[in-house]
């Protein structure tokens, strides 16, 4: 992972917060050049995201309230990988819970670090096609979610991204990973 360079030496690790979704720790490191310092890190089990595409070529998106930014973001459905769950199982569950759709076909688009400057969280991104609506889905039933389901064309989403609309980074990255498979 260090691309041919010697990794830093861990001198001390302190857990400051243990939460339901992530942990926060401070690590005392010695770099290969012998400099020492503290590095904060959020430890996260990872997330999985779906780029759901209807048979008519529309993207199933969410407009979701996010407390940290005090506003609503345009996002693809996603969720935290739970213990004893694969990223694919996570996203298959989340797409139903958040959108009311089930996908027949899943294609991995890859994985990427979300914010490597302070977190080890990886996002596993999937293209979801062959969508059908789940009749009795309780969309946004989680008490901590405030979501609205939207359908957008790829062109509408790309325009929103380039206009600087509030689209989150994991959705932007996944959209461009999925772009070769989407209708023009």
Q: Measured over all CA atoms, what is the biggest interatomic distance in the chain, rounded to whole angstroms?
A: 61
Print the domain residue range for 20: 9-43
Over residues 102-118, mean pLDDT:
96
CATH number at residue 59: 3.90.79.10
Examine residue 119 and state whether it is found in any structural domain, yes or no: no
pLDDT, position 6: 85
Q: pTM for this structure? A: 0.88
pLDDT confidence tier of residue 175, bands split at 50, 70 and 90? very high
Examine residue 120 and state whether it is found in any structural domain, yes or no: no
Q: 52-71 pLDDT, tens per residue? A: 999 999 999 999 998 888 99
- Exposure b/e, 94-112, CB count within 10 A at least 16 = b: bbbbbbbbbbeeeeebeeb
- Tell me: do 97 and 152 sit in the same domain: yes
Average pLDDT of the chain to the nearest whole number: 92
Extract the runs of DSSP E, i.e. beta strands, from the chain. 9-18, 23-30, 36-43, 47-52, 59-66, 71-75, 78-80, 101-113, 122-133, 147-152
- Tell me: do 86 and 137 sit in the same domain: yes
- Tell me: do 39 and 84 sit in the same domain: no
Over residues 118-132, mean pLDDT:
97
pLDDT, position 166: 81
pLDDT, position 184: 78
Quick one: DSSP state of residue 151?
E
- Tell me: do 95 and 136 sit in the same domain: yes
Q: 12-26 pLDDT, tens per residue? A: 999 999 988 899 999
């Amino acid at each position: 992972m260090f691309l041919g360079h010697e990794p830093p030496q861990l001198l001390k690790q302190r857990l400051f917060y243990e939460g339901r979704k992530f942990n926060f720790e401070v690590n005392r490191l010695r770099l290969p050049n012998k400099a020492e310092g503290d590095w904060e890190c959020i430890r996260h089990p990872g997330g999985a995201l779906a780029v759901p595409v209807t048979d008519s070529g529309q993207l199933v998106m969410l407009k979701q309230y996010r407390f940290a930014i005090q506003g609503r973001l345009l996002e693809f459905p996603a969720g935290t990988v739970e213990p004893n769950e694969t990223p694919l199982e996570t996203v298959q569950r989340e797409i139903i819970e958040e959108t009311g759709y089930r996908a027949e076909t899943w294609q991995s688009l890859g994985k990427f670090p979300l914010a490597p400057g302070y977190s080890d969280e990886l996002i596993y991104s999937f293209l979801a096609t062959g969508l059908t609506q789940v009749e009795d889905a309780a969309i946004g039933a989680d008490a901590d979610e405030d979501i609205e389901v939207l359908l957008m064309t790829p062109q509408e989403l790309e325009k929103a991204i380039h206009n600087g609309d509030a689209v989150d980074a994991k959705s932007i990255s996944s959209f461009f990973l999925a772009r070769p498979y989407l209708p023009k």
